Structure 1
Amino acid sequence: MSSSSTQLLTDTWVTTTWDDYLRVLEDPAYEKAKSYYYNGQMRIEMSPVGNDHASDHTIIIYAIHLFAAINNIDLNGKDNCTYRKTGVNAAQPDVSYYIGETTDVIPWGTGIVDLDLYPPPTLAIEVANTSLLDDKGNKRLLYEELGVSEYWIIDVQNVEVIAFAVENNGSRRIRQSQVLSGLDIAVLEEAFQRTRQMNHGKVSAWLLSQFR
């Protein structure tokens, strides 16, 4: 892709150089876009976030923080944080967490997290309403390469949590988190199912009863 291109295909992978990828991000038109770079391609996501995506985004953050608090698990969460390995990869997961030994590894005041200096997040999460195929495809490969320990996809339309343990440059499906010991994926899925029938206050109370 030439940096002189006047129209950029969004919400798909476009072959380009790392430098051109960074130049695109300097364009004010993409100031609020989510961006990814993997295998010599970039993906700029411009689709507006609707009610369903935003609602599931909120619940997964609450559920993880609540579970960690009750179980005395150290963690720090990042909402839409950007991670870059210069010239190689970039990702902006919907939610990400540093857990356990790496909880405090990113100092306050850090902007974009430089993965040449810091480790990747322990857990990366994508909330998939219109991007499910890509979240299960290239983004999964991207997070494998970045070296996260777990990668979750919240499938909004099918009310499912697709969780992977990442190891040995690959990933496998899991039904219980390994980085949040004792957290059953089925409980999260039931919480999402309940959000289709009741408000977040009631779902939060139900999660509290399950985690205690």
Structure 2
Amino acid sequence: MSKLQTRIPADTWVIATWDEYIQAVENPAHEKAKGYYYNGRMRIEMPPVGNDHASDHTIVLFAVNLFASLKDIALNGKDNCTYRKTGLREVQPDVSYYIGENADVIPYGTSIINLDIYPPPALVIEIANTSLADDKGEKRLMYEDLGVQEYWIVDVRNVQVMAFAVENQGSRRITESQVLPGLAISLLNDALRRTRQMNQGQVGAWLLTQFQN
């Protein structure tokens, strides 16, 4: 086994072949790590175990699921799911969603989602505590190439969501979700700020009243 496979620096992009990447992510030492492969480079992210990352992850999941349920939007979410286009790229976003006509496109029993067979998710979300620069940079390019419709970055330290509509291998900032029509990004920012002062049950009750208006 090469040095690349046994001593891979975490949370940074490393030049690697696809086979080297696969060996790295299958290494038991990286069992709980997240893996990315893009443009001949790989990135292994060790699991974020901090309270802030985990809390924002939870409230964003709750907000999206609650909104879709109240607005009768067909939706299926994936938590840390792996998407693979063999030999070219692999991503493992913190949160991802199939929405609308593709909500049920991935059958149960599927492990890694093969993008040679299935479409990419409509919405991808990365929770950025220590990885903000990469989420705004390389990963943003990666998701543009992947063909998602919308990309959100939850900036934990600055308590905000940055949302991007993706089309024609480019992206632009938006203030309202296009895949979840009627969901204002400012409302998600308000919810995040409230979690700094009250528990998630209280924030959830507040979101419910906002979404019902």
Q: Same fold (TM over 0.5)?
A: yes
- Aligned pair count reads 211
CA distance in 2, matches of 1:162, 1:66: 20
CA distance in 1, matches of 2:48, 2:31: 13
2:26 counterpart residue number: 26
Q: CA deviation at 1:3?
A: 3.7
Which 4+ stretches in 1 moved above 4 angstroms? none
Q: Which runs of 5+ in 2 are unaligned?
A: none
1:157 counterpart residue number: 157
CA distance in 2, matches of 1:99, 1:127: 20
Percent of aligned pairs sharing the same letter: 68
Q: CA deviation at 1:25?
A: 1.2
The TM-score normalised by the length of structure 2 is 0.97
Q: CA deviation at 1:46?
A: 1.1
Are the structure 2 counterparts of residues 138 and 68 from structure 1 closer, same or farther at C-alpha, using a change threshold of 3 Å?
same
CA distance in 2, matches of 1:154, 1:175: 14
Q: Which moved more, 1:6-15 or 1:110-119?
A: 6-15
Q: Which amino acid aligns with 2:144?
A: E
CA distance in 2, matches of 1:180, 1:61: 13
Does the CA contact (< 8 Å) of 2:122 and 2:149 recur in 1?
Answer: yes
Is 1:71 the counterpart of 2:95? The answer is no
Q: CA deviation at 1:83?
A: 0.3
1:102 counterpart residue number: 102
Does the CA contact (< 8 Å) of 2:32 and 2:47 recur in 1?
Answer: no
CA distance in 2, matches of 1:98, 1:34: 20
Q: CA deviation at 1:7?
A: 1.2
1:123 counterpart residue number: 123
Does the CA contact (< 8 Å) of 1:3 and 1:23 recur in 2?
Answer: no
Q: Deviations over 1:133-189 (max 9, x none)?
A: 000011001100100000000000000100000001100000000000000000000
Q: Which amino acid aligns with 1:93?
A: P
Secondary structure at the aligned position of 1:111 is classed as: coil
Q: Which amino acid aligns with 1:182?
A: G
The TM-score normalised by the length of structure 1 is 0.98
Q: CA deviation at 1:49?
A: 2.1
1:112 counterpart residue number: 112
Does the CA contact (< 8 Å) of 1:3 and 1:20 recur in 2?
Answer: no
Secondary structure at the aligned position of 2:176 is classed as: coil
What's the RMSD between the two structures over aligned residues? 0.9
Does the CA contact (< 8 Å) of 1:11 and 1:47 recur in 2?
Answer: no
Is 1:170 the counterpart of 2:189? The answer is no
Q: Which amino acid aligns with 1:162?
A: M
1:201 counterpart residue number: 201
Is 1:142 the counterpart of 2:142? The answer is yes
